[in-house]
Each structure stands twice: as C-alpha cells, then as structure tokens.
C-alpha cells in the first residue's frame, strides 16, 4: 500500500516501513518518528536528485529504474511545497470525513501525478537502455541493431558508452571472438550487461589471438611464427592450458637430473649445458613442501659447472627450493604429446598435439594476464553493476615468476601478481554468472582491494594457473587507513555454486 509523507526522505529508510498499512491507519511509531524527526539532507556523496514537476525524489542510483519502480509500489515522496490541507493525513484519527475525503482525493491526485512522473522517468530509462547485437560475422561499422550487428565486444562497449544512460545489454551470438588486448570496463560502463544470446555459454570470448599457420618441424612437433621478442607463458588448446615443455614429464618424479644449488640457482647435468634457457622457468616446492613458486631463470646459459641462476622468489629463510622441481621452457624437453615451447628470440612456438594436427584445434596465444578488467578510476568512482552472463571466457597469460609473498613481507601478495582473467578493482556489484571460465593464467576471477558486493555464481572454472576465485584485500598495516575497520574495503561478496577443478 501507499503511505504519504510530508518530507522528502531517503529510500533506504522508507523500505523499512510496513507495506500492509491501509490509508487512514495511524502510522506506527517508527513512521511517526521518521515524519517528525531528523530528515537527512539530500546531498549525500552518492545521492542523485531526480527532478519531477511537483518536487523531487532522491535515490542513490537513479539510473536503476527497477529499483525506483519497486519503491514506487509503496512510497511516494511529497515535495515540501505541498504542505497545505493534508498536513495531518493520514495520521490524525480525529479528522472529519469530509477532510479525509478531500485529502484522499488530493492525495490520490498527487499519487497519480507522482506515479506518472516516476513512470516517465522509468520509461525514459527503459528507452535509453539499448540492446547491442554482436555476431562473429558482423561489422563494427554497423549500429549494432539486430539487422545490422556489430562484430566485436569492444565496439559494442564503445557504442553503449557513446549512447550514455545505463542498463544497456550487449548480446553475443554463438561463435568465437578473439581479442588483441585486455578489454577494459570502467565507471562509464556501469549498469552494462554482457550476455550470451543462447544457453550454454556458446559465445566464446578469447583473451588473445588464434595461433595458426603451423608447419611440421620435426617428428611429431609442429611450429609456427609468433611475434619475435615477445614472451608468453600459457598456450591454450581447446580451452585447456597445454603443458610447457618440461623435464621430467608428469608422473616421472622430480628434477630429472636438475637440482637446487642454494636459494638462487639450480644445477643442470653437463649434457644440458648447450641448451637455450632464454624461456626457461623452474617450478619448485619450497622447504617442507608447504607451497610452491615459479622461479625465473635469469641467464640463457649455465656456467661451465652447470649452475643456472634463478630469482630468489619470496626469499623466505629456511624455506628454500627443495628437490621437488621441474625445469621447463626448453625446447629439448618437448618430448611428449601435449607439450609446447616458445623460442621468443627466434619468434617461433612449438607444439606436439595430443591428437591430429594443430589445425584440428583452437590454439590461443594470450594477450595479457588480465583479459576482462573491470576497474573504476578510483575507489570513490567504482564501476558499478556490470554483469557478464552466459559466456565462455577463455585464456589469459601467466607470468615469468610467481611468488607467494613479496620478498621479506609475510602475508602480502606482490602487486605484479595481483592478476585475474576477470579482474575487478574499484568495483561494486560486479556479477559473473552462468559462465565458463577456462585456462586463466593466474586466477579466473580476482577481486582486488576495493571491491564490494560482487557475485560469482554458477560458473564452471577450470584450468586456472593459481586460483578459481581470489579476493585480495590490503596487507595488514598497509593502505591509507586509520583503523582496521576502515581498511575493510573488500567485502559483501557472494561466491556460490561454482564448479572449480584442475586449478
């Protein structure tokens, strides 16, 4: 039912009132308190005024017309300018019937006026919210209508931005969409929904470019040119990360002849001295196998004693590399189906397919460690209410090294490792649901520092390099805060019903 108040009050407070109070019923004490007590000012930092002909309403997000409409079902904001004959309505049970009827008539009139105005606001919002159609065979010079669809998500995002308003939907048709760089979304995209048009996440968003043009190189190994001088650490085949050429092979123990030499080097046998280690890494467990790190190999060749320097990782004393390690990223170690290797100085990538030829598979070279980056400019200007729904999000890069902590600083995540295929920072109400999140280099979803009230729900997450979903707040003692409570800026999320495996 509808209640009438003389004061403009904030919607957040109005929703606490009972909905079943009939007109003419004395207001409950809480309502009276609100009517006669302190009325918060309009000018809150996040508030927006919406002007209507007879007054004004306030909403924290006027672009959310559905929310406005839900409030409209049981509340009406009456301008202070309208404060005459109905001043006691409906709270004074001693009013005459005539007065009640008059007030009721007037009130109904006002209600109709307000409802009309709000409906117009809602209608305007609805009209402003457009759907942009994207199909793989579209054209980015098209307007994005159903008859003249766009070809890419970046073009659709730009079109939605240019249109202004909020609540736009980008509808992706079934097919494959490749991207040359990280796709960014910010506060200008607030309210945007990116959605697959058909069930089953059949719209496949790839975080990189397809690798094609393969030729047989030697035996079962194929190779193809890639940009010279550019390293990458994840080759994705049919939505799964391929194994970087390593020794020993999986299931064959550790080391394979290599072993740790102190905390910052490995030793290799003399028969490996001539190999090129320009793209090599060492995956190693530490200490008593508490955790593992990826160490960068720092020189392309070992010295005459077979010593190959690697970075020191977290540098935690008494927790150095142990003998459980793999050496990888060396072409000579590419010796079984499913392995791949980059020679970035030469500009070639090599691969031994598990079946058929490389042309039988979708092979992806990732463009970066973040594929979808949703980030407002600052904590005070978050990207809000952006949704990814019913799409496949496939592939992002890993990194040269991976440390569990910043060197010498327990409990921290190094800045350069705060990475996710879907990365959110300075975000509110980011939603990822009903998606397939495949072959992320780092985490599939990483919500960083300032991130609140996000939802990650009902997704398939597999093949991530580190975590399925990672929520990363401030390290204790860090950040521009005066108290622990103030530093609690990563919160309110709902992570539910995700199937996460092989991460």
Interface with Ca ion (CB under 5 A): 249, 333, 335
Pick the closer one to Ca ion by CB: 153 or 294: 294
Pick the closer one to Ca ion by CB: 333 or 371: 333
**Residue 240, CB-side half-sphere exposure with 13 Å CA sphere:** 11
Beta carbon of residue 245, minimum distance to Ca ion (angstroms, whole number): 5
Beta carbon of residue 222, minimum distance to Ca ion (angstroms, whole number): 16
Count the Cβ atoms, other than its own, within 10 Å of residue 476.
11
Pick the closer one to Ca ion by CB: 244 or 362: 244
Beta carbon of residue 339, minimum distance to Ca ion (angstroms, whole number): 5
Written as six digits, the tokens of 369 are 């460690």
Beta carbon of residue 336, minimum distance to Ca ion (angstroms, whole number): 5
Pick the closer one to Ca ion by CB: 249 or 320: 249
Pick the closer one to Ca ion by CB: 329 or 368: 329
Yes or no: say if 379 and 424 are a contact pair by the CB < 8 Å rule.
no
Pairing of strands 48-52, 55-59: antiparallel
Yes or no: say if 13 and 34 are a contact pair by the CB < 8 Å rule.
yes
Count the Cβ atoms, other than its own, within 10 Å of residue 406.
17
Torsional sign, CA 371, 372, 376, 377: positive
Beta carbon of residue 181, minimum distance to Ca ion (angstroms, whole number): 32
Pick the closer one to Ca ion by CB: 182 or 249: 249
Pick the closer one to Ca ion by CB: 54 or 276: 276
Pick the closer one to Ca ion by CB: 247 or 412: 247
Beta carbon of residue 241, minimum distance to Ca ion (angstroms, whole number): 15
β-sheet with 215-218: strand ranges across: 215-218, 221-225, 348-351, 339-343, 243-244
Beta carbon of residue 462, minimum distance to Ca ion (angstroms, whole number): 23
Beta carbon of residue 479, minimum distance to Ca ion (angstroms, whole number): 44
Pick the closer one to Ca ion by CB: 329 or 424: 329
Beta carbon of residue 332, minimum distance to Ca ion (angstroms, whole number): 9
Q: How far is CA 17 from CA 35, 104, 215, 223, 467, in A?
A: 12, 21, 71, 68, 43
- The three-state secondary structure class of 484 is coil
Q: Which residue has 């992806």 as its token pair?
A: 364
Beta carbon of residue 326, minimum distance to Ca ion (angstroms, whole number): 9
Please give the DSSP secondary-structure letter assigned to residue 297.
B
Question: To 5 degrees, how large is the angle CA 264–CA 267–CA 272?
Answer: 135
Count the Cβ atoms, other than its own, within 10 Å of residue 33.
11
Yes or no: say if 122 and 150 are a contact pair by the CB < 8 Å rule.
no
Pick the closer one to Ca ion by CB: 315 or 338: 338
Please give the sequence-ordered ranges of beta strands (E in DSSP) within 311-407, or none if there are none: 321-328, 339-343, 348-351, 363-366, 372-375, 383-384, 387-389, 392-394
Please give the DSSP secondary-structure letter assigned to residue 497.
S
Q: Is the peptide bond before 98 cis (omega within 30 degrees of 0)?
A: no
Q: CA 164 from chain center: how many Å?
A: 22
Residue 253 burial by CB count (10 A; 0-12/13-18/19+): exposed, middle or buried?
Answer: exposed
Q: Is the peptide bond before 101 cis (omega within 30 degrees of 0)?
A: no
Beta carbon of residue 250, minimum distance to Ca ion (angstroms, whole number): 8
Beta carbon of residue 217, minimum distance to Ca ion (angstroms, whole number): 16
Pick the closer one to Ca ion by CB: 249 or 307: 249
Pick the closer one to Ca ion by CB: 202 or 249: 249
Q: Which residue has 């070809």 as its token pair?
A: 151
Residues 417 and 466: their CA atoms lie apart, in Å, by 10
Q: List the one residue out of 136, 2, 118 whose CA is nearest residue 53.
A: 118
Yes or no: say if 166 and 127 are a contact pair by the CB < 8 Å rule.
no
């Amino acid at each position: 039912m509808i209640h009438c108040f003389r004061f403009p009050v904030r919607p957040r407070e109005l929703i606490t009132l009972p909905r079943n109070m009939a007109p003419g019923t004395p207001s409950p004490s809480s309502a009276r308190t609100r009517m006669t007590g302190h009325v918060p000012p309009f000018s809150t930092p996040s508030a927006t005024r919406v002007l209507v002909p007879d007054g004004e309403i306030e909403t924290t997000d006027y672009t959310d017309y559905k929310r406005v409409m839900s409030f409209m079902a049981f509340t009406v904001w009456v301008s202070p300018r309208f404060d005459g004959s109905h001043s006691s309505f409906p709270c004074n049970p001693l009013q005459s019937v005539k007065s009640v009827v008059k007030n009721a008539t007037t009130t109904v009139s006002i209600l109709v006026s307000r409802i009309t105005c709000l409906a117009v606001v809602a209608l305007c919002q609805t009209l402003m919210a457009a759907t942009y159609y994207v199909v793989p065979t579209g054209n980015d010079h098209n307007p994005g209508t159903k008859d003249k669809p766009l070809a890419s998500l970046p073009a659709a995002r730009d079109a939605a931005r240019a249109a202004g308003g909020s609540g736009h939907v980008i509808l992706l048709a079934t097919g494959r969409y490749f991207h040359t760089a990280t796709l960014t979304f910010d506060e200008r995209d607030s309210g945007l929904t990116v959605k697959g048009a058909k069930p089953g996440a059949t719209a496949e968003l790839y975080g990189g470019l397809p690798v094609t043009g393969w030729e047989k190189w030697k035996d079962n190994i194929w190779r193809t040119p890639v940009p010279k001088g550019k390293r990458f650490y994840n080759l994705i085949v049919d939505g799964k990360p391929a194994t970087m050429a390593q020794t020993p092979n999986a299931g064959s123990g550790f080391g394979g002849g290599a072993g740790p030499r102190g905390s910052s080097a490995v030793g290799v046998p003399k028969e490996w001295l001539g190999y090129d280690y320009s793209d090599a890494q060492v995956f190693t467990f530490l200490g008593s196998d508490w955790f593992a790190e990826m160490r960068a190999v720092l020189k392309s060749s070992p010295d005459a004693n077979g010593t190959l320097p690697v970075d020191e990782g977290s540098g935690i004393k008494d927790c150095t590399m142990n003998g459980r390690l793999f050496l990888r990223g060396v072409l000579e170690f590419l010796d079984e189906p499913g392995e791949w290797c980059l020679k970035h100085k030469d500009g070639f990538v090599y691969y031994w397919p598990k079946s058929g030829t490389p042309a039988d598979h979708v092979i992806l070279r990732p463009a970066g460690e973040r594929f979808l980056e949703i980030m407002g400019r600052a904590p005070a200007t978050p990207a809000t209410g952006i949704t990814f729904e019913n799409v496949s999000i496939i592939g992002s890069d890993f990194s040269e090294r991976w440390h569990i902590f910043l060197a010498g600083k327990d409990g921290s995540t190094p800045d350069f490792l705060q990475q996710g295929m879907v990365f959110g920072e300075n975000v509110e109400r980011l939603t990822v649901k009903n998606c397939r999140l495949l072959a992320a280099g780092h985490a599939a979803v990483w919500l960083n520092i300032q991130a609140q009230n996000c939802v990650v729900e009902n997704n398939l997450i597999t093949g991530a390099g580190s975590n399925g979903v990672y929520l990363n707040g401030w390290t204790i003692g860090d950040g521009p805060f005066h108290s622990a409570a103030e530093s609690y800026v990563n919160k309110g999320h709902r992570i539910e019903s995700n199937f996460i495996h092989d991460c």
